[in-house]
Structure 1
Amino acid sequence: MENWLVKRAKLNPDKIALILEHADFTFKELNSTVQLFAGKLFTSGIRQNDPVALFSDNCFNGYVAILALQQLGARTIFLDTELSASTLTNQLQDSNPKMILISDSANTKEIDHIEWKKALMSDILILKKSASYQPISEFTDTQVSAIFYTPSADRNDTGVMLTYGNYFYSAMGTALNLGINKQDSWVLTLPLFNVPGFIIIMRSLIYGIGVYLIDGFDIGHINKVLINERATIISLTPSLLRELLNTLPKGEHYNDKFRCVFMGTGLIDNWTLLRCNVLGIPVLQSYGMTETTSNISALNFDDAEIKAGSCGQPFFTTQIRITHINQDNIGNIELKSPTVAIGYLNKRELYQSRFTKDGFFKTGDVGYLDDDNFLYLKGRQADLIHSNDKIIYPEEVENIFHSINGIIDICIVGIPKKDGTEKPVAYITMQDNAFLTGADLQEFGQHNLDDYQVPTEYRQIDHFPKSTNGKILRNRLLNLDYKTI
């Protein structure tokens, strides 16, 4: 395929590609800026297939740097700006980049003391553009473009290798599902260094649509954009959506062009869905992961009401099946798709172990397909709680408790018992003015859940460990200080 940015600048030179708070860029202007920066990166010594680590917030320079590295054919290693120095060091040792390219506006506290070749983007900008620089002419399906690290309980995070073919088929599946048109514009407030945020940049090039780039989760600014601008789609996580709803000015509604919240990274609770319905905010729940280049199934507008709670049907580009079905008719989610990552960096055996003999990718998630082939996600296989002869699906329990006024977030985990089974324990963050006791929560659970689902203990914590896209890292909860309530 012809270089996407160059191609889009030819096809739609005057169409708005990028919208910042105080400036807009057409595809032609964006391409000119990116090529200038790419030429200066070339002067600094970056060449095709070189691994380059990017440490950037959601800023204009970071956006440009991502596209500039693609023009050179380099491999971008995306670093999470909120990770600790020790975790970043392990990722750098694993990926061994030629340099770390750092945004001047990013918080560099954790990376400052890491001994590695680094360059601020401002240092690159003062270089002269090489006269011999030329952008690569084509993107190939199997060309590794980026490496994204997925978190784990220890520090041995896994680098997921994604290709241009992965991006393209991901964009095609999403377009067929949402019915993307040239009037659409996508709000990008998720981190650039995670796949759900990054893939919006690739969709912009493939679809020829504009992107509203918002640095950090500035709730007030996001609501203003959705109310006053022509933004049509925003990608959010359930926790971020709840924050937006809590601060939406009374009586205000999103603009007439707004089409939907595209929801990923976990299940949305019924209470939040109800609030969205009252406010006339369409929510399309989706399913995907880093290894599948973001979404591989999603509800569409026609089915959003009758299949509420579902992640929709598999995209046209994806096959999904359920195996190892248990007594609740829930099983392992496995899939085939051209969006599945080409490999794990330096972990070939681990990557191969994720596939069945007939080539299906084992997601590690559990759920079911209904008679109409709609997918219902029940959570991670590793998160299920085995209580005697019953299975507890934590997100089902959390969904019920989210309706309690005063609870900010809740997470149910299994604590091993002497008999080899587990007991459900709730970790909770609450609002300052919430006077909820363990007895209150226990009584609520007994009235709204089956006995075996009710947590046996309630632990209040200051905050949840989360990935930067808002997903709670359950496997790190047991190491936290807590207060039993």
Structure 2
Amino acid sequence: MSSTVPSGGAPGPDQATLLSLLTDLPATDDATVLHAPDRALSLRELRSAVDSVASVLVKAGVRQGVPVGGLVGTGPFGVVGMFAVWAAGGVYVPVNRRSTPAEIAALIDETPVELLLGTAEDLDRQIADVAMVHVQATTWQAALRRPVRADPTAYDQEIALVLRTSGTTGRPKAVQLRHRSTIDALDSSLRKLRRRRRPTTPALPATPRLNLIPLSLALWAGIFNTLFSLRAGYGVVLLDRFTPEALVAAVRRHEITSTVLPPAMITALCDSDTVDSVAPLRIVRSITAPLSPAVARRFHDRFGVLVLNSYGQTELGGEVVGWTVDDIREFGTGKLGAAGRPYDDVDVRIVDDTGRSLPTGEPGHIHIRSPFRMRGYANSEPVRSESTEQDDRFVDGFLRTGDLGHLDTEGFLWIEGRVSDMINRGGLKVFPDEVEEVLRRHPGVRDAAVAGLPDPRLGEVPHAWIVPTGPDTPAAAELTAWCRQHLAPYKVPAGYTTIDALPRSDVGKVLRRELRA
């Protein structure tokens, strides 16, 4: 990395930051380390682009801890902008450029952002009264439009990112993540997957191995897996827009043998009429949401690819539970559908409604203690206390995840659903995930979702939304009979609705609130 960024930006070398993932990437300067559909960047070009943008950010007034919102679209901009903010000493706040100007202004009102970084076209649309720097995303020349105010909001120097939660079950929150704990989380994931972080020989590869990132870099899942690739010493292949055909083309072109996919993308590949092979892909890690065992089995049967499940939350700093290839070899499909086993230094406990720990095999609330966890929420201003115990989601250092599940005798975590999704049918608990799994096994059902609807006698009852495999939906009586073969009577849906596709968030989670509406 060149040294044109003035001192007083990023912390010194004794303070590990995520910028080191770029400055220490083990590859030659001419090695291509960032691939996008329309262009590619060598390590020298990537470092030069970061340095060029960072210099203008410093000129604009970005300094230690100042939050910068990056308007992330497609292509390399998300990577360049993120590292440029860290090179200038700032805190990176990813913002989806597809959000409306009003949505972005509202986000800035709730979460401190002192400067917006984006292309000229994106900045021209904004109505927020903040500093701005625009970037030409082919030459990487940056220009100052409006400087940072004299007394800007600033986070502590250990904060690297402020990320918005998905808001699947409530209003999104802004989560603060540290440089050091994020690096530790990446290393823990690498240890879990039995991969070395650096080459065993001193020679630098002229053509580094590559990881495919099929997710937007406006999302934590996309950012985490990009950083994971660099920490492992790999280059990155970005997929601007997911389609089954685009993913398969990228896999073949770059000879990708493993990648990450949300459940919705795994389902789309299974459903595709144009994809008959995903070779040379051999391993998929399922991320962002629980993966249905039926979908995992279907994907494996169709393509012969191993599916490694995982579990994490933004507040926990990323993935904290997952499978390894060794787990697959040892247990085969016997535990298909389990989230996996906890990573190093991660503690999982299952408790009842009173907080009492439950024995192995008994379902309850999932509480997790992670050394990589967030610093705190920042919806109105930066949290400066080291402790997150003031937040009611933490109990004795454990995050109350809001998920329900159990641990089996081998230490595998099984997710049974969200507390907020649980249906109370006249005092009897119904977990939508269990019912959905049964429905997906029906030959006439491609996908399904279940949610509670009001009932004057029972309070609420389960209702199913069905995506059929063909032009006709199985009759309600047929689906009810099928469910009665596999479920207790009170778990059987009271009704069925046919839809073309399930509404999902950007990370593939089913939006049950939209189904209820």
Q: Does 1:289 align with 2:313?
A: yes
Number of the residue aligned with 2:393: 354
Number of the residue aligned with 1:450: 488
Q: Deviations over 1:40-85 (max 9, x none)?
A: 3323333332211122123212221111111112112222345555
Moved more, 31-40 or 86-95: 86-95
Number of the residue aligned with 2:9: none
Moved more, 425-434 or 226-235: 425-434
Number of the residue aligned with 1:266: 289
Letter in 2 for 1:338: P
Number of the residue aligned with 1:470: 508
The correspondence for 2:85, drawn from 69, 72, 77, is: 69
1:103-142 alignment runs, 5 A limit: 103=119, 112=125, 114-117=127-130, 118-122=132-136, 125-127=140-142
Letter in 1 for 2:335: K
1:53-452 alignment runs, 5 A limit: 53-83=69-99, 87-103=103-119, 112=125, 114-117=127-130, 118-122=132-136, 125-127=140-142, 143-152=158-167, 156-181=171-196, 184-247=209-272, 249=274, 252-255=277-280, 258-278=281-301, 279-304=303-328, 305=332, 306-324=334-352, 329-346=362-379, 352-356=391-395, 358-405=396-443, 407-418=445-456, 421-430=459-468, 433-452=471-490
Letter in 1 for 2:293: N
The correspondence for 2:64, drawn from 44, 48, 52, is: 48
Once the two structures are TM-superposed, the CA of residue 228 in structure 1 deviates from its matched residue by 4.0
| 392 and 23 in structure 1: CA distance in 2 versus 1, 3 angstrom threshold | same
Number of the residue aligned with 1:137: none
Q: Secondary structure at the match of 1:445?
A: helix
Q: Check whether the contact 2:453–2:461 (CA below 8 A) recurs between aligned residues.
A: yes
Q: Deviations over 1:164-212 (max 9, x none)?
A: 1231122112101112246653211111111111012222332211111
| 51 and 280 in structure 1: CA distance in 2 versus 1, 3 angstrom threshold | same
Q: Deviations over 1:392-427 (max 9, x none)?
A: 111111122223456454221122434564211123
Q: Deviations over 1:116-149 (max 9, x none)?
A: 34554339954479xxxxxxxxxx9971111111
Letter in 1 for 2:213: L
Once the two structures are TM-superposed, the CA of residue 86 in structure 1 deviates from its matched residue by 5.0
Q: Check whether the contact 1:103–1:121 (CA below 8 A) recurs between aligned residues.
A: yes
Unaligned segments of structure 2, at least 5 residues: 1-15, 145-154, 200-207
| 284 and 97 in structure 1: CA distance in 2 versus 1, 3 angstrom threshold | same
Q: Check whether the contact 1:77–1:95 (CA below 8 A) recurs between aligned residues.
A: no
Moved more, 65-74 or 258-267: 258-267
| 85 and 454 in structure 1: CA distance in 2 versus 1, 3 angstrom threshold | farther
Q: Check whether the contact 1:14–1:26 (CA below 8 A) recurs between aligned residues.
A: yes
Residues of 2 paired with 1:125 and 1:21: CA distance? 17
Residues of 1 paired with 2:85 and 2:65: CA distance? 10
Number of the residue aligned with 1:135: none
Moved more, 11-20 or 163-172: 11-20
Report sequence identity in percent.
Answer: 24
| 33 and 373 in structure 1: CA distance in 2 versus 1, 3 angstrom threshold | same
| 434 and 113 in structure 1: CA distance in 2 versus 1, 3 angstrom threshold | farther
Once the two structures are TM-superposed, the CA of residue 289 in structure 1 deviates from its matched residue by 1.2
Residues of 1 paired with 2:278 and 2:242: CA distance? 19
Q: Secondary structure at the match of 1:252?
A: coil
| 119 and 11 in structure 1: CA distance in 2 versus 1, 3 angstrom threshold | closer
Q: Secondary structure at the match of 2:394?
A: coil
Q: Check whether the contact 1:91–1:157 (CA below 8 A) recurs between aligned residues.
A: no
Q: Secondary structure at the match of 1:167?
A: helix
Residues of 2 paired with 1:394 and 1:155: CA distance? 18
| 78 and 7 in structure 1: CA distance in 2 versus 1, 3 angstrom threshold | closer
| 259 and 72 in structure 1: CA distance in 2 versus 1, 3 angstrom threshold | farther
TM-score for both structures, normalised by structure 1: 0.85
| 334 and 31 in structure 1: CA distance in 2 versus 1, 3 angstrom threshold | same
| 476 and 251 in structure 1: CA distance in 2 versus 1, 3 angstrom threshold | closer
Residues of 2 paired with 1:85 and 1:420: CA distance? 44
Once the two structures are TM-superposed, the CA of residue 344 in structure 1 deviates from its matched residue by 0.4
| 326 and 462 in structure 1: CA distance in 2 versus 1, 3 angstrom threshold | farther
Q: Deviations over 1:287-327 (max 9, x none)?
A: 00111222101011122224221111100131111111789
Q: Secondary structure at the match of 2:325?
A: coil
Aligned-residue CA RMSD (Å): 3.2
| 335 and 184 in structure 1: CA distance in 2 versus 1, 3 angstrom threshold | farther
Once the two structures are TM-superposed, the CA of residue 429 in structure 1 deviates from its matched residue by 4.2
Q: Deviations over 1:188-244 (max 9, x none)?
A: 111111111101222233221111111011321211222342213211111111112
Q: Secondary structure at the match of 2:401?
A: strand
Moved more, 89-98 or 401-410: 401-410
Unaligned segments of structure 1, at least 5 residues: 130-139, 480-485
State the aligned residue count: 463
Once the two structures are TM-superposed, the CA of residue 380 in structure 1 deviates from its matched residue by 1.1
Once the two structures are TM-superposed, the CA of residue 455 in structure 1 deviates from its matched residue by 0.8
Number of the residue aligned with 1:132: none
Q: Check whether the contact 2:62–2:89 (CA below 8 A) recurs between aligned residues.
A: no
Letter in 2 for 1:206: R
Letter in 1 for 2:453: I
| 150 and 252 in structure 1: CA distance in 2 versus 1, 3 angstrom threshold | closer
Q: Secondary structure at the match of 1:262?
A: strand
Q: Check whether the contact 1:466–1:472 (CA below 8 A) recurs between aligned residues.
A: yes
